[in-house]
Amino acid sequence: MFALRTFIIAVAIASANALTSSLQQVTANFGSNPTNVKMYQYKPTALATPTPLIIAMHYCTGTAQAYFSGTNLAQLADQHGFIVVYPNAPTSGGCWDVATTATLTHNGGGDSLGIANLVRYAIANWGVDASRVFATGTSSGAMMTNVLMGAYPDLFAAGSLYSGVPYGCFAGPSAWNSQCAQGQLSKTPQAWGDQVRSGYPGFTGTRPKVQFWHGTADTTLYPQNFQEEIKQWTNVFGVSQTPTANISNNPQSGYSRASFGPNVQAILAQGVGHTVPEHETDTLDWFGLSSLTPGSSNPGNPGTTTPPTSTPPTTSAPPATTSPTGATAAHYAQCGGIGYSGPTVCAAPYTCKAANAYYSQCL
Ligand SMILES: *[C@@H]1O[C@H](CO)[C@@H](O)[C@H](O)[C@H]1NC(C)=O
């Protein structure tokens, strides 16, 4: 019995460590990155095509490396074939900028712009599926997830955040907002929703769906923030604040999973403090990646034997827009740079702007 148990533990440790690839710093110049956020990517050897991308953001005092080793997103990336990018916060305290007007504004600057440009670069150069880019994070990284949902709804399909605060709750001159953290910043659903809409004025596309987790015993970011997030995201999606379903003891004892239609999900963890542990497989479910397998191209296909698509699996996929003469590059698509051979004219009303010698983008 003892030997069997030892064996099982040994296998568990071995499989946890046996990654097909390793964490690598992104050295390419991926565009404007005003606060110099460092990026680290985990790219498994076998990818799904086109490839989903998850941006995974650490807590204050954390690092990209710590979040890489402290969550099992990389193991899941091996299993499902997506890429994970772990940004590293540039401040000495290791917190994300979730307070400045720049970071809270679409293309306004701050930490969020560097991350947004990494996403655009990954779509243009890594074969990343523009319709399957996601964000997750813990604490400060959860706040940053909400920032990205509000300021870059065009880039993200969904977010899943652990123990954060609403988009804009920290807005102001200080990096830390005690009033918000202590759950004393209460606003109407309309005011919270307006704040999200102000992140990207005029945006009319589909917004990312948002899942948030919070513990009732959180004394760092008080659980009132969970209620404020419910107000915010139900207002953004124009749905009732009364859950359409609330399942007890899900996904585990003491947790409750409340849904407000298909786009807002609020999971409350009784007696859990700061922070709720990452539930990575649950987050993948929310992102719609649970049944994805390397090599497959159908996001919803539960089978593992998807027939090959007509596109041969080339290793360095050129932008899909490459071809007939006269083709134009779409908003945010690549339109120039060393080694690039696709369309160099942008679809109206966008113009081709050089980020660096290797990459120009339609902005
Ligand atoms: C869901 O139900 C639990 C009790 O089972 C409750 O504590 C929680 O507040 C409910 N969630 C929402 C969002 O109403």
23-287, what's its fold? Rossmann fold (3.40.50)
Which pLDDT score, from 0 to 100, does residue 334 have? 63
Which pLDDT score, from 0 to 100, does residue 309 have? 39
**Quick check: CB of 89 below 6 Å from ligand 1?**
no
Report residue 341 CA to chain centroid gap. Answer: 30
**198 to 103, 131, 142, 191: CA distances (angstroms):** 12, 23, 20, 10
pLDDT in tens, 294-303: 986 645 433 3
Among all residues, which ones are annotated catalytic?
Answer: 139
**Quick check: CB of 336 below 6 Å from ligand 1?**
no
Residue type for 109, please? G
**Quick check: CB of 216 below 6 Å from ligand 1?**
no
Q: Cα–Cα distance between 252 and 250 in angstroms, integer?
A: 5
For the chain, the domains span 23-287, 333-362
**Quick check: CB of 32 below 6 Å from ligand 1?**
no
Dihedrals phi, psi of 355, to nearest 5 degrees: -85, -35
Q: Cα–Cα distance between 326 and 354 in angstroms, integer?
A: 20
Which pLDDT score, from 0 to 100, does residue 127 have? 96
Which atom number of ligand 1 is nearest to the Cα of residue 242? 14
Q: Which of 213, 232, 255, 256 to mutate to test the pocket of ligand 1 (most atoms within 8 A of CB)?
A: 256
Which pLDDT score, from 0 to 100, does residue 326 have? 59
Which pLDDT score, from 0 to 100, does residue 317 have? 37
Q: Which of 216, 246, 259 to mutate to test the pocket of ligand 1 (most atoms within 8 A of CB)?
A: 246
**334 to 162, 269, 279: CA distances (angstroms):** 33, 43, 35
- The model carries a pTM of 0.80
Q: Cα–Cα distance between 27 and 333 in angstroms, integer?
A: 20
Which residues of the chain are modeled with pLDDT < 70? Answer: 1-17, 296-326, 331-335, 337-341, 355-362
pLDDT in tens, 51-110: 999 999 999 999 999 999 999 999 999 999 999 999 999 998 999 999 999 999 999 999
Three-class DSSP category at 169: coil
